[in-house]
Structure 1
Amino acid sequence: MDNQQQRVWMHIGAGSFHRAHQAWYLHRLLMQGDTRWSIALGNIRNDANALLTALEKQNGEYILETVSPAGERKYERVTSIKKVLPWDEQLSALVAQGAATETGVISFTVTEGGYYLDTEHKLDPKNPDIQADLLGEARTIYGTLDRILRQRIKQKSGPVTLLNCDNLRHNGERFRNGFLAFLALKGDMAMLDWVKNFTSSPNTMVDRITPRPTADIAPRVEEKTGFKDLAPLMGESFIQWVIEDDFIAGRPALEEVGVEMVKSVLPWEEAKIRILNASHSCIAWAGTLIGLSYIHESTQTQSICEMAWEYVTQDVIPSLTPSPLDLDAYRDVVLDRFRNPYILDTNQRVAADGLSKIPGMIAPTLIECYNRGQIPRATAVLPALFFLFMERWHEGDLPYTYQDGILDANAMHARFSAADPLAEFARDEALFGPLAGKPNFEQLLRDTVQSLRTWITLQTNETVVSQ
C-alpha cells in the first residue's frame, strides 16, 4: 500500500447503497486518521444529477442514519467523498478522474441487470445498449470503462483495480469476462491485452439493506444533528463486506475497519445471494401480490415468512452444505433483519430486476436440487411468485412501476398474451437454463402457481375481512 501519495477510489453509481456501504467504510478509515484514500463519485446516466448537485453543495458530505431491529437510531456524517464528478453526455469528468494516476481503484454498483449476462453468464451482444457501446457510446459499465481505460493508457497512468460491488455471484470474474468479451467484440486486441495485464477484478460480497431515501429522513436528521442535509439516507445497522485481496494498484487498509479480506468469497457470497437476496425477492413479490407495501409487513405475515424459511431450509442449506458459516443462524438473522419495522424498505425496491435475479440467484438451487434427486418444491415457489407478479404487471394491476434493467416490455406483454403464458415462462432458457422445456419442471411450476393463486385469494379475503 502507498504511504505517501494521496490516492483516489473512484466509484461509478451514485446510488444509496454505495453511500451507506463502501463510502461508510472509507469514512471510518478517515476517522481513524488514515487519510491516504478518498472517494470520487460519479454516474453513467443522468438520473443522479440532482443527488450529485446536492452533494457538491455539501462538499460531498451527508448524514447516514442507521436503525437496528430494536429501533435504535444513530447518525453519522460521512466525509469520504472528497470529489463529486458532474455528469455530461461525454462522461468527461468520470473519464478524467478514472484516467488520473492517483486513481487506484474504480468500483461500481450498476445493479444485477447492468452486466447484460445470459444464463451461461456470458455477455449478451444482442442487447441494444451493448450494441450502442460497441459503436462507441457509453451506456453501460463496459462502454464507460472502455472510454476511461483508453484515456488511462494514453496518459500512461498505470494499473488499476476494477471492483464490482453488486449482488452478482462471482461478481468480479463475471464482470471481467463480460468486459473482455466486449473488447473482443470491438476487435480491440491491444486494449484487451492491457486489461488482462494491468487490471484486477476481485470478487466481493456486500451487504447492508438500504432503502430509497424517503421524505421523512431529512427533517429527522436536522432535528437530531442540526444539519439541514440535502442528501441524507438511511440504512440498517447491520453491515458486511468481504473482498478477495487481489488489488493490483494498492488499496486502503480496509481490514482495519471490519472488512473481511479473504482468498475466496465463495462461501459468503453463495450464502448471501441465495439466503438473503433470493428470500428478499420472494418476500417482496409475495407481499405485493396480497396488497402489502413494505418488506417488514410482508415478512411479518406468517405464511410469507414460512415460504422464505422453507425455501432456505429445505433446498438452499442442503445445496450449500458443508459451509464454514452457520447457515441456520444466518437464515434466522436475515429474517430478523427483514422484520425490522423501522427500515421501511419497500416491496417495490426489492421486487426490481427479477429477470436477472431468477437465473442468478434462484435457478442454481433449482438445478442442484434436481441433480441430487430432490424435487425443489420450496424453491419453485419463488419463480411461481414472479410469474404471478409479472402477470399482474401485464394486466396493469401492480400498485407501482416495476423496474427491470433488461425488461423488453413488448416481448413480455406478448408472452402473457400467448395461449399458454406459463409454458412460455417455464421454457425460457434465459431464466431457467437447462431446466427450460423439461416437462417435470414445467408441471412443478404449474402446480405451484395454482397453489399460490389459492393462497392469494385466501390472504386477500382475510385482509378485506380484517379491514
Structure 2
Amino acid sequence: MQNRLLSAKATLPDYDRTALTARMVHLGFGAFHRAHQGVYTDILAAEQHSDWGYYEVNLIGGEQQIADLKQQDNLYTVAEMSAEAWTARVVGVVKAALHVQVDGLERVLAAMCEPQIAIVSLTITEKGYCHSPATGQLLLEHPMIAADLQNPHQPLTAPGIIVEALARRKAAGLPAFTVMSCDNMPENGHVTRQVVTAYARAVDVELAIWIEQNVTFPSTMVDRIVPAVTPETLDKIEQLTGVRDPAGVACEPFRQWVIEDTFVAGRPQWENAGATLVTDVVPFEEMKLRMLNGSHSFLAYLGYLAGYQHINDCMADDNYRLTAQALMLREQAPTLKVQGVDLQRYADQLIARYCNPALRHRTWQIAMDGSQKLPQRMLDSIRWHLANHSDFDLLALAWRGGCVTLAAWMNRARRSTLAIRYCRLFSAPWQTVKKAQVVLRRCWEWQKFSVTICRRRLGLRKKCKKPMIVY
C-alpha cells in the first residue's frame, strides 16, 4: 500500500517531498547506500530544507529492491542498532527508482541527461569498476567492457553508462556532472577517473579530453557497519515500527563520511549533516585502514584462534580489548598524519563500536581474504616503524595470527605439507584453544620470529620488547 511507511513508529519525513528535485543519480541501490548517503541527504532535507533528491538505479541484480521501493512511494526504513535500543527513521529523498533490466537503458540514460543532474554517485562494489585492483587501470579485455566497446551506445557496465551519458550531455550542450564513488576502496575517486577516462579514450578521444577537462571525480571515505539484510532483520524492523518494509536496512549508530570537495556543478551541504569536506581524503583513508580495519583483522584472527565467534565476544575479554586498543594507539596512530582528528577519541569510538552486541560480526567472516586485506592494513605501518627504529610487536602479532589461521584453514581444506608444518608447531588444534591468554602467548612466540625476519630483511638488528599484554 502506497505511503504505508508514513504510519510507521519512526522518525518520518517532515519536509515537503514534492519540493525535492532529483539532482543526483545513484548507481547501486544497496544496503550501504541506503544506510549511509541516503541518511545524510535525508537529514539535510529534514533539518536544512535541502531540495536535493535522488534517482536510484540498479544495473545488474537487485530488481526486487527497486520493485519494493516503487511499491511504497520510494520510502524506506533505516533502523539504528545500539546496545541499548533500536531506533528508526523513514528516508524520503528518493524521487524515483529505476532498473536497467526492467525500465530499460534509455530511461536510465534519459534520467542522467536531465539538465539539473549535478552528481552521479556509485556504490557498485569493487568488481563493478572492471579494473585491476593492483594497478587501478581499466581492464579493456574484461568481457563486459569488451561487449560495451562493441556497442558503446547500449552499454551495460557502470563505466560504459557514465561515458554514454556524458557523451549525450556533451552533444546536447549540457554541462558535465560530478562522478563520485562511495565504494569502500582506497583513492576511489582516482580509480573512478582512471576507469572512466580510459573507457572514454577507447570510444572517442575527443570525448575523453572533454571529460578530463569538465568532470571531477572526488574521492570519499565512508564508514558505517551495515550488516546484510536477513528475514530476521526485517522482522525486527517490523516489530520496532509496526510496518513491514522489504526495503529496510539496519545499521550501527556510528557514521562517517569524508569527501574531497571538488564538485563541478554544486553539491548538497553534507557537512551540515555531519560529513567532513576536505582537500585530501588520503590521510583519513589511512586512519580507517590502519586503526579500524587493522584492529578488526587483529581481533578477527586472534579471536577466531581462541574460539570466539563474534567481535563483541572478543571485546568482553580484557586481553583482547586492551591489546586491540594498544595496537591502535601505540603502533598505528604514530604512523598517521590526520589534521583535526583526536585519535584517542577515534580509538575509543572504535572500541565502543566493537562492543555493540547488536552487530554480530563473525570473526571468520572478517578474516576471509586476508591475503588481500592485511598488506594494506598493516604493511605500511610496519615499514614506518622499521624506518623509525621503533617497535611493532602487535602488528607482527596480528600478521602471524593471520598466517596461523590461513595455515589451519589450508590444513583442513588441502592437508598441504606447508600447512601441516605450521600446525604441528602447536600442541593442540587451534579450534580447541579457549583461553585468550594461551592464544596470545603462543602467537607471541611466532610474533618474535616475524619481527626478527622483518628486521633482518632490512638489515636491522634492534631487539624488540615484549608487548604489554594483560594475561
Q: When the two structures are superposed, what TM-score results if normalisation uses the length of structure 1?
A: 0.76
| Distance (Å, rounded) in 1 between the aligned partners of 2:404 and 2:196 | 34
Give structure 1 regions of 4+ aligned residues with deviation exceeding 6 angstroms: none
The alignment of Structure 1 onto Structure 2 pairs a total of residues equal to 414
Q: Report whether the alignment pairs 1:206 with 2:219.
A: no
- Cα deviation, 1:264-314, whole Å, max 9, x if unaligned, reads 333333212221123224433444455544332244345544564344234
Match of 2:8 in 1: none
1:76 corresponds to 2:89: yes
**How is 1:44-443 mapped onto 2 (pairs within 5 angstroms)?**
44-46=59-61, 48-68=62-82, 70-88=83-101, 91-112=105-126, 114-115=128-129, 116-123=131-138, 135=150, 140-184=157-201, 186=202, 188-305=204-321, 308-321=324-337, 323-347=339-363, 350-351=366-367, 354=370, 356-374=372-390, 376-388=392-404, 390=406
Please report the TM-score for the alignment, with normalisation by the length of structure 2: 0.75
Give unpaired runs (5+ residues) of structure 1: 398-412, 423-445
In the TM superposition, residue 110 of structure 1 has moved relative to its aligned partner by 2.7
Distance 1:32 1:347 in 2: 38
Aligned sequence identity (%): 28
Structure 1 position 159, deviation (Å):
1.2
Per-residue deviation, 1:139:
6.3
**Shift of residue 321, structure 1, vs aligned partner:** 4.6
- Give the aligned partner of residue 405 of structure 1: none
The correspondence for 1:36, drawn from 47, 51, 55, is: 51
In structure 1, what is the Cα distance between the partners aligned to 2:367 and 2:353? Answer: 17
C-alpha displacement at 1:57, in angstroms?
Answer: 1.2
**Structure 2: tracts of 5 or more residues without a match:** 1-18, 436-471
Does 2:34 align with 1:19? yes
Partner of 1:462: 434
Give the secondary structure class of the aligned counterpart of 1:38.
Answer: strand
Cα distance between partner residues in 1 of 2:128 and 2:404: 24
* Contact 1:44-1:144 within 8 A present in 2 as well: no
Equivalent residue letter for 1:364? D
2:53 maps to amino acid: S
**Match of 1:41, SS?**
strand
The CA distance in 2 between the partners of 1:147 and 1:86, in whole Å, is 17
The more displaced of 87-96 and 274-283 is: 87-96
- Amino acid aligned to 1:180: T
Residue pair 1:119, 1:359 contacting (<8 A) in 2 also: no
Alpha-carbon spacing, 1:181–1:380, altered in 2? closer, same or farther (3 Å): farther
CA RMSD of aligned residues (A): 3.6
Deviation at 1:223, TM superposition (A): 2.9
- 1:395 CA displacement: 6.4
Q: Which amino acid aligns with 1:88?
A: Q
Report the alpha carbon displacement of residue 27 of structure 1 after superposing the two structures with TM.
Answer: 0.9
- 2:396 and 2:33 map into 1 onto residues whose CA distance is 32
Residues in 2 aligned to 1:38 and 1:5: alpha-carbon distance in whole angstroms:
6
Query: How many Å separate the matches in 1 of 2:402 and 2:161?
Result: 32
Structure whose CA Rg is larger:
2
- TM-superposition CA deviations, 1:29-84 (whole Å, max 9, x none): 221362521111122321x222222222112211111123x423211111112211
In structure 1, the residue matched to 2:460 is none
Letter in 2 for 1:12: L
**Separation of aligned partners in 2, 1:328 and 1:134:** 50
> What do residues 383-428 of structure 1 show as CA deviations (whole Å, max 9, x unaligned)?
544455555665676xxxxxxxxxxxxxxx9xx96x7589xxxxxx
Does the 8 A contact of 1:112 with 1:353 survive in 2? Answer: no
Distance in 2 (alpha carbons) for counterparts of 1:158 and 1:235: 36
CA apart distance, 1:248? 0.6
Q: Distance in 1 between matches of 2:204 and 2:427?
A: 54
Give the AA of the match of 1:461: V
Greater shift, 266-275 or 332-341, is seen at 266-275
Q: For residues 334-391 of structure 1, what are the alpha-carbon distances to aligned partners after superposition, in whole Å with 9 as ceiling and x for unaligned?
A: 1220110012234466445545534443333233333334564433444544455555
Say which SS state the counterpart of residue 49 (structure 2) adopts.
coil
1:85 maps to amino acid: L
CA contact (8 A) 1:211 1:346 kept: no
Contact preservation (8 Å) 2:234, 2:245: yes
